[in-house]
Structure formats: structure tokens, C-alpha cells
């Protein structure tokens, strides 16, 4: 079995254990595995340059915050931001969820993401890694991204935009 598959299974098991512990302490029940599913869909949509799939993961007033750029707020701004990303970069990232918290209709997760990013203008591939913070809201029973913030975790290096 490949290392990414084992890592994904470990994350799912940890999330399930976290949900069980939270329920045992009388905290509001919430299933963090649903958040992991959203992040898996996010990674797949990034890999396939699927703007519509990415935007569909956000709330109508969702926010995408990138380094050194203004926040993209709302559906049309999100669509424009991801189109810009895909006209300049080919992104293939894996997410490693570090922490999750679910409370009624709000949730968040902290993750790291690693992978290859190709700058299309030059054809140069680089190994990149980021710190990610994602806020979620539940809409009609479905978790959606309310705010996605990432930053390079390589001090002193510029992040591809």
C-alpha cells in the first residue's frame, strides 16, 4: 500500500477517534471526516484545474486569501482568482490535516499541504509546502468553505501566485 494511502487512512482514523472523544465529553457532535472529504475534493479540483468544482466547495460569500494579494470574496471573485491561478500554475498538492474542530454549524481545520507546482510560463516544477487554515459553515446540512487561508511554510521564499 502506498504511503499517501496509508497517510489518508491514518487521518480518517484520527478524525473518527476525535469525533468519538468529542461526543463522549458531551461536546456538540460533529463529524470531522466530512471536513476531510471537502479537502479531498479541493485537492482533486486543484489537480484538474476545475474552477467550477472549487467554487462549489465555498459558501456564496466565501473568501480565498493568498499571500501578497487581496482576498477574493464571493462567488465571482473566487472564480476569477482560481482562473488566475490556473493560467499561471499547475498545482498538485496533498493535505495533511493537523487539527479539526466542529461546533454546530461552524468548523475549522488546520493542515499542511505539500506537492509540486509547475510555473506554466517557464515549465519549472518546484516542491512546495504550505500552512493552511480553513473555516467552514454548514449550509443545508453540507459543509462549505467560508474562508481559506494559506501561507508558504518555507521562510524567505516567494510563493507562486
CATH code of the domain in which 128 resides: 3.10.450.50
The residues pairing with 152 across neighbouring beta strands, listed in sequence order, are 130
Show Cβ contacts of residue 132 under 8 Å, excluding neighbours closer than 6 positions. Answer: 95, 109, 110, 111, 112, 113, 148, 149, 150
Would you say residue 34 lies in a domain?
Answer: yes
Would you say residue 69 lies in a domain?
Answer: yes
| Residue 116: all three cell numbers together | 509540486
Rounded Cα gap, residues 152 and 62, in angstroms: 21
- Look up the domain containing 60 and give its range: 3-152
Would you say residue 158 lies in a domain?
Answer: no
Rounded Cα gap, residues 109 and 107, in angstroms: 7
* Torsion (CA) 117, 132, 138, 58 in degrees, nearest 10: -30
- In the three-class reduction of DSSP (H, G, I as helix; E, B as strand; rest coil), residue 155 is classed as coil
Rounded Cα gap, residues 35 and 41, in angstroms: 10
Q: What is the pLDDT along the chain (161 residues), one digit of tens a residue?
A: 444 444 444 444 344 433 433 333 333 346 788 999 999 999 999 999 999 999 999 999 999 999 889 999 999 999 999 999 999 999 999 999 999 999 999 999 999 999 999 999 999 999 999 999 999 999 988 999 999 999 998 765 555 55
Rounded Cα gap, residues 40 and 46, in angstroms: 10
Which pLDDT does position 71 carry in this prediction? Answer: 97
Would you say residue 159 lies in a domain?
Answer: no
Would you say residue 91 lies in a domain?
Answer: yes
Would you say residue 17 lies in a domain?
Answer: yes
Rounded Cα gap, residues 17 and 148, in angstroms: 25
Would you say residue 93 lies in a domain?
Answer: yes
Number of domains composing the chain:
1
- Cα separation values, 153 from 16, 32, 129, 144, Å: 28, 24, 6, 25
- In the three-class reduction of DSSP (H, G, I as helix; E, B as strand; rest coil), residue 153 is classed as coil
What's the predicted TM-score (pTM) here? 0.77
Would you say residue 147 lies in a domain?
Answer: yes
Amino acid at each position: 500500500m502506498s504511503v499517501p494511502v496509508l497517510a489518508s487512512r491514518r487521518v480518517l482514523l484520527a478524525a473518527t477517534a476525535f469525533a468519538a472523544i468529542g461526543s463522549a465529553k458531551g461536546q456538540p457532535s460533529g463529524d470531522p471526516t466530512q471536513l476531510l472529504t471537502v479537502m479531498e475534493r479541493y485537492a482533486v479540483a486543484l489537480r484538474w484545474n476545475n474552477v467550477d468544482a472549487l467554487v462549489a466547495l465555498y459558501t456564496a460569500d466565501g473568501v480565498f486569501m493568498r499571500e501578497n494579494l487581496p482576498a477574493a470574496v464571493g462567488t465571482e471573485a473566487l472564480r476569477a482568482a482560481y482562473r488566475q491561478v490556473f493560467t499561471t500554475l499547475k498545482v498538485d498538492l496533498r493535505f495533511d490535516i493537523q487539527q479539526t474542530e466542529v461546533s454546530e454549524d461552524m468548523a475549522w481545520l488546520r493542515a499542511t499541504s505539500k506537492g509540486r507546482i509547475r510555473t506554466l510560463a517557464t515549465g519549472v516544477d518546484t516542491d512546495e509546502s504550505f500552512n493552511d487554515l480553513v473555516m467552514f459553515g454548514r449550509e443545508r446540512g453540507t459543509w462549505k468553505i467560508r474562508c481559506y487561508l494559506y501561507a508558504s511554510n518555507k521562510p524567505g521564499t516567494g510563493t507562486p501566485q
